[in-house]
Every structure is written in C-alpha cells, then in structure tokens.
Amino acid sequence: MLSVFLVTFPFFALVLCGYLATRRGVFPLPAIAGMNAFVLFFALPCMLYKAGSSLPFAQLMNIPTLLLYMLVQLLMVGGCVFFSRKGGLDWNNSASGALVTAFPNTGFMGLPLLVALLGEAAAGPAILSMLVDMVMTTSLGLALSRMDGAAGNIRPALGKALKGVLSNPMPWSILLGALASYQQWQLPVAIDKTVGLLASAATPVALFAVGAVLARSKMVQAEYAAPRSYVPLALVKLFVHPMLVLGLGHAAIALGLPMPPFAVLVLALVAALPSASNVTLLAERYGAHNGRIAHIILVSTALAFVSFSLAVSGFGEFFQ
C-alpha cells in the first residue's frame, strides 16, 4: 500500500498545487483558459500520439476491451439519467450529472498515472477508454441534455454533439497514433523530439490545470448545490463505476470471451479515477447547474487520493 501511495502522491500533489496557487491568487484566473488550451491542443495530443504509436496495434485497438467499456459507459449514463429523471430533474441536468459521473479524468490524470503504476502496457486500454469517452460518452450525454426541447427527437442534438467531437484534436491524435503503429511509421528525428517535448509537458501542466479549474469553480461559482445533489454521484463515480467494470469483465471471462484480464484491471482503475474537470465547461456552455457539476468533480478528486490508491491495491490482489 505504501508503494502505491508513493506513486500516486505526486500526481495528487500537483493537483493540490494548482488548487492552492489559484485560491491564493498566485496563479491568475484568466491564465487558466490558456493553460487548458495548451494541454488540450498541444501537449495532450502529442502524448496520446506518442503513446499510441509506440504500442502494438492489436494491443491498442482490442475489440473485446472496446466493447466492454462501451457497455459500461452506456449503463452508467443510462442509469444515472434514469434515476435523476425519477428524482424530478430535467433532461439537461440529468444528462450533465450522468456525463460527469461516467467520464473519468483519464487524459489529464489517468493515463500517466496508470503507466507509472502498471507499465507501458496499461496505455492501450486507457487510450481506448478515452476514445470511447470522447466520442460516444460525450456525444450521448450532450444529446440527452438537449431532450428538454427536442420533443423526443434526439437526432439533431446528437448531430451537434458529433460535430463537437470532430473538432476535438485528441480523438484524431489517438487514431493517428494507431495508424502509425499499424504502418510502423517513424517521425523524422527533429519532429519526433519536438513532439516528445510537448508530450513530456502534458502531465505536470494538466494536473496543475485540474487543480486550478477546481479552485476557480469554488471562487466564481455563485450557484448553491445541496450535498445530496452531488455527494451520491461522486460516490457512484468512485465505487460503483469500477465495480461495474469488474463485474462485467469477469462475467465476460467466465463466459469464455477473449477478454484480457489485464485490460479489465486497467479499465477498472480508469473507472476508479475522479470525474473529468472539463465537464464543467460543457455544463456551463449548455446551461446546466454548473455548481452541482463542479462539486461532483471536487469531491470525487479529493476522495480519490485515498479511494484510488485502495483500488490499485485491492484490484491488483483480486487479479493475482
């Protein structure tokens, strides 16, 4: 357990640094947008390309792993929306809550953390889960959030969400990395070193940005959110989500399906990550209760320092 904490501590410490620096005014709020843009459009796509191009194609694009994670995400979004609607919330807030509960912080935190814990082989399932979340989970959540005025027609909202996905550089960098792996392409040395420099900046800047975004949500968000509206969803994210992956993964293995146990372990740890911080931007853009969304992210991130480390130890023993 101590060895796990020694690996996870620096990652959460960088998040805390970003949070404290922003709360104390050392890091100015207007700079957060620029830092996020650097991560989303430069550093993180380079990191995803480098990781994808260095892995065997079959390991990166494993169909059973893809289908398992897709099923889990459909159940997470569908279940959260169902219970939120039963509780009286509109489609917009139900879908936004489901999206933040189902969408783990794999890009900013999970990918480098899992590679540090489990080795380079963990990058394949983690990247595959990111592709599912950026294309399917996000599109489904945003489409459902538009159902209040759609008169039951989800197609226009889904089309708008898919257009947003196509403008995101991260899925393209994953696919380009997979293509480079399949074709065994090598970048010219000078370009490869440039991409490597940007990729190496992704992890520290992204983690600092997560803390800054969380601090900003506490500083500028005037909307009150009752604890009962966000604490249960934060707990679902950290505990129900990974257990759902484990349950379905082991059921697939028991049925004799070609499901690699290591991939199930990685996906379970991906699901045990806190909620992705960029969902607050989507909630704000589409008019959802952003205070509730920000609190889900904040609580899940704070609790994950302990819960994720416990999951690494517990799930690792479970697969031995």
Token representation of residue 69: 């994670």
Confidence of residue 1 (pLDDT cuts 50, 70, 90): low
Q: How much is the pLDDT for 223?
A: 55
CA 151, CA 192: separation in Å to the nearest integer?
A: 50
Identity of the residue numbered 168: N
Average pLDDT of the residues of the chain: 87
Asked whether 7 and 169 are in contact (CB, 8 A), the reply is no
Token representation of residue 18: 């970003």
Q: State percent of the chain over pLDDT 70.
A: 91
Give tens-digit pLDDT for 38-89: 988 899 899 989 888 888 877 777 889 999 999 999 999 999 999 999 998 9
CA 196, CA 200: separation in Å to the nearest integer?
A: 6
Q: How much is the pLDDT for 319?
A: 57
Residue 161 has pLDDT above 80, yes or no: no
CA 295, CA 50: separation in Å to the nearest integer?
A: 33
What total number of domains does the chain contain? 1
For residues 297-309, average pLDDT:
93
CA 14, CA 27: separation in Å to the nearest integer?
A: 14
> For residue 79, what is the domain's CATH number?
1.20.1530.20
Give tens-digit pLDDT for 95-153: 999 999 999 999 889 999 999 999 988 999 999 999 899 888 988 888 888 776 655 55
Asked whether 30 and 216 are in contact (CB, 8 A), the reply is no
- Quote the domain boundaries for residue 130: 2-318
Q: How much is the pLDDT for 103?
A: 94
Q: What is the DSSP letter of 55?
A: S
Residue 166 has pLDDT above 60, yes or no: yes
For residues 275-292, average pLDDT:
78
Q: How much is the pLDDT for 244?
A: 97
String of DSSP letters for 255-272 = TT----HHHHHHHHHHHT
